């Protein structure tokens, strides 16, 4: 969803402070200033002030000659001697917007006057005392060189960024790629939000996702907008300074995202991207901590705690966005994506609402088979629920119309879903099925499919033959061959149960 606005000249999401090409701290680190044995009297955040130039003066009236951003170099020889006048003098320097004061002790003052110190502390204005004599001209030359070098570096970086984000725009790069490249350029986590403050894309770099999403208060932010239409906001968490300026990098990324929205006719792709990214990462277990997925779900309005949550799979040629729309209309929070030929979704309902078959059909829509995973109490349970629903869908390839099947109604499926990461289960599967796997691989056979049909219809071999799309005679020949290869009695219930378990475990591994 976009928002059309008239953007005034003063409307901006920029913070007041911009990136500095050169700071007081940078100048203080210069060898020419270090030669003066500097003592930082007022430092801390004051040392981050931007230095636009270095100005040398001992005059008590120097404030009227300053434009702001200067680092004042002085011996203090011409400063007032009266405490009140000294205080007024220092306040005038602060009002002029200077970056800081460097006082060379000796001929003018043996120590920095207390009124000057008091004003600098109150105003958080950098104040540095030099205990050894230096040539101020060498400081101004060093500042000049550093500024020129920083400006050149900034121009070079701006050109590189322009080429990078122009290429991304021309290539039609998706939003998550633009966000990732912006984060890499900044060396800091970057988040893309839509107008509803839902997280569309995130590149957290080495920061835990949950931590990155928890700390979106004091961040740089730039609107993603063009031609009077705003689609969202690009945010960057605190990070290192950038030669071109952090906001410049963020603006380039936002511009590339805006071009993408213009080319695609809006931000419809964003919602699909956000939801498919969560589904893919959840199914692929691409998260360091369940808190990371929980934070991403919460950022999209999907709550897990104190809710009834399920993973579901809906078969058929529909669209995940339609399923998501119907789920929201039914009062559910939802994350949905297309995975292969199926719609895969996570549903979150109030604890008091029962996910009935009727509600499932209404959400899925049309004549579709829907497979419902067991209830989930947390992110890992939600992953198990979704995997179990997919396993059940993979085991049921019948062409029957609309129906709802639940993992809870299939105790063996649920057992496999809960043990899918247990190596002993997969060792059992490999041991039991190895002869059939080898036979099918070498002869392009269908013995595993035939065995699957047999265990799905253990008391009705005619139905099993029909499910295998084989004649009864051919089906019985296959069953005889399977029994010989496995040296097993396929009329024995325990044997069939063990084989069924092995097939389910193999299918769960293939679907992971």
pLDDT at 17 (0 to 100): 41
pLDDT in tens, 42-74: 999 999 999 999 999 999 999 999 999 999 999
SS (H, E, C) 317-384: CCCHHHHHHHHHHCCCEEEEEEECCEEEEEEEEECCCCCCHHHHHHHHCCCCEEEECCCECCHHHHHH
For the ranges 174-183, 297-306, 380-389, the one whose mean pLDDT is highest = 174-183
DSSP string, 414-435: HHHHHTTT-HHHHHHHHHHHHH
**Cα–Cα distance list, 91 to 88, 116, 119 (Å):** 5, 8, 7
C-beta contacts of 401-405 below 8 A and 24+ residues apart: 401/367, 401/369, 402/361, 402/366, 402/367, 402/368, 402/369, 403/369, 403/370, 404/357, 404/360, 404/361, 404/369, 404/370, 404/371, 404/372, 405/369, 405/370, 405/371, 405/372
Q: For residue 72, with 0-12 CB atoms within 10 Å meaning exposed, 13-18 middle and 19 or more buried, which class applies?
A: buried
pTM (predicted TM-score): 0.61
105-109, 367-371, 421-425, 434-438: segment of lowest average pLDDT: 421-425
72-86, 226-240, 337-351, 459-473: segment of lowest average pLDDT: 459-473
Reduced to 3 states (helix: H, G, I; strand: E, B; else coil), residue 241 is coil
pLDDT at 402 over 90: no
* Dist. CA 275–CA 356, nearest whole Å: 24
Q: With contact defined as beta carbons under 8 Å apart, do 117 and 41 qualify?
A: yes
pLDDT in tens, 243-285: 888 999 999 999 999 998 888 777 777 878 888 888 888 888 7
pLDDT at 413 (0 to 100): 66
pLDDT at 229 over 80: yes
Q: With contact defined as beta carbons under 8 Å apart, do 65 and 57 qualify?
A: yes
Domains of the chain: 36-133 (3.40.1390.20), 301-416 (3.30.70), 423-511 (1.10.10)
Share of the chain above pLDDT 90, in %: 42
Q: With contact defined as beta carbons under 8 Å apart, do 297 and 304 qualify?
A: yes
pLDDT band at 20 (very low <50, low <70, confident <90, very high): low
pLDDT in tens, 372-387: 999 998 888 898 889 8
pLDDT at 40 over 90: yes
User: How crowded is residue 30: how many other Cβ atoms within 10 Å of its Cβ?
Assistant: 16
| Mean pLDDT score, 389-401 | 75
Q: At what angle do helices 379-395 and 411-418 cross, to 10 degrees?
A: 130
pLDDT in tens, 342-355: 899 999 999 888 89
Q: Which residues pair with 3 in a beta bridge?
A: 230
* Dist. CA 458–CA 233, nearest whole Å: 57
Q: With contact defined as beta carbons under 8 Å apart, do 505 and 453 qualify?
A: no
pLDDT at 417 (0 to 100): 62
Answer left, alpha or beta for residue 88, where phi above 0 means left and psi between -120 and 50 means alpha: alpha
């Amino acid at each position: 969803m976009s928002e059309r606005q008239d953007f005034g000249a003063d409307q901006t999401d920029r913070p007041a402070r911009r990136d500095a090409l050169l700071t007081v701290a940078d100048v203080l680190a210069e060898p020419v200033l270090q030669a003066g044995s500097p003592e930082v009297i007022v430092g801390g955040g004051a040392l981050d002030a931007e230095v636009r130039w270095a100005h040398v003066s001992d005059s008590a009236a120097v404030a009227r000659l300053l434009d702001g951003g200067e680092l004042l170099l002085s011996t203090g020889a011409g400063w007032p001697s009266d405490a009140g006048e000294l205080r007024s003098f220092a306040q005038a320097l602060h009002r002029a917007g200077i970056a800081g004061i460097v006082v060379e002790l000796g001929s003018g003052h043996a120590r920095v006057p207390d009124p000057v110190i008091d004003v600098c502390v109150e105003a958080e204005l950098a104040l540095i005392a030099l205990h050894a004599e230096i040539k101020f001209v060498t400081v101004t030359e060093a500042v000049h060189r550093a500024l020129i070098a920083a400006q050149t570096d900034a121009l070079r970086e701006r050109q590189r960024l322009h080429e990078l984000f122009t290429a991304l725009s021309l290539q039609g790069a998706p939003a998550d790629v633009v966000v990732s490249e912006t984060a890499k350029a900044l060396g800091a986590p970057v988040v893309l939000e839509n107008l509803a403050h839902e997280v569309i894309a995130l590149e957290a770099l080495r920061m835990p996702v949950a931590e990155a999403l928890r700390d979106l208060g004091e961040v740089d932010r730039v609107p993603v907008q063009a031609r009077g239409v705003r689609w969202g906001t690009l945010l960057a968490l605190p990070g290192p300074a950038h030669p071109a300026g952090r906001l410049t990098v963020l603006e380039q990324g936002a511009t590339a995202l805006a071009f993408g929205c213009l080319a695609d006719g809006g931000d419809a792709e964003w919602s699909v991207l956000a939801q498919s990214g969560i589904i893919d990462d959840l199914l692929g277990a691409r998260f360091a901590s369940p808190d990371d997925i929980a934070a991403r779900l919460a950022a999209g309005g999907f709550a897990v705690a104190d809710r009834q949550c399920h993973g579901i799979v809906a078969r058929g040629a529909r669209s995940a966005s339609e399923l998501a729309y119907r789920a929201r209309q039914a009062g559910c929070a939802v994350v949905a994506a297309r995975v292969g030929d199926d719609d895969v979704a996570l549903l979150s309902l109030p604890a008091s609402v029962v996910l009935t078959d009727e509600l499932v059909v209404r959400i899925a829509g049309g004549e579709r088979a829907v497979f419902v995973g067991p209830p989930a109490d947390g992110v890992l349970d939600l992953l198990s629920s979704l995997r179990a629903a997919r396993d059940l869908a993979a085991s049921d390839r019948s062409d029957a119309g609309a129906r709802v099947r639940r993992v809870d109604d299939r105790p063996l499926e649920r057992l496999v879903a809960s043990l899918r990461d247990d190596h002993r289960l997969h060792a059992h599967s490999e041991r039991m099925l190895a002869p059939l796997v080898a036979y099918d691989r070498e002869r392009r056979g269908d013995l595993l499919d035939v065995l699957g049909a047999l265990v799905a219809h253990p008391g009705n071999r005619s139905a099993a033959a029909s499910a295998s799309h084989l004649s009864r005679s051919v089906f019985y020949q296959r069953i005889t061959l399977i029994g010989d290869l496995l040296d097993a009695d396929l009329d024995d219930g325990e044997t069939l149960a063990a084989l069924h378990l092995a097939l389910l475990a193999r299918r769960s591994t293939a679907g992971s």
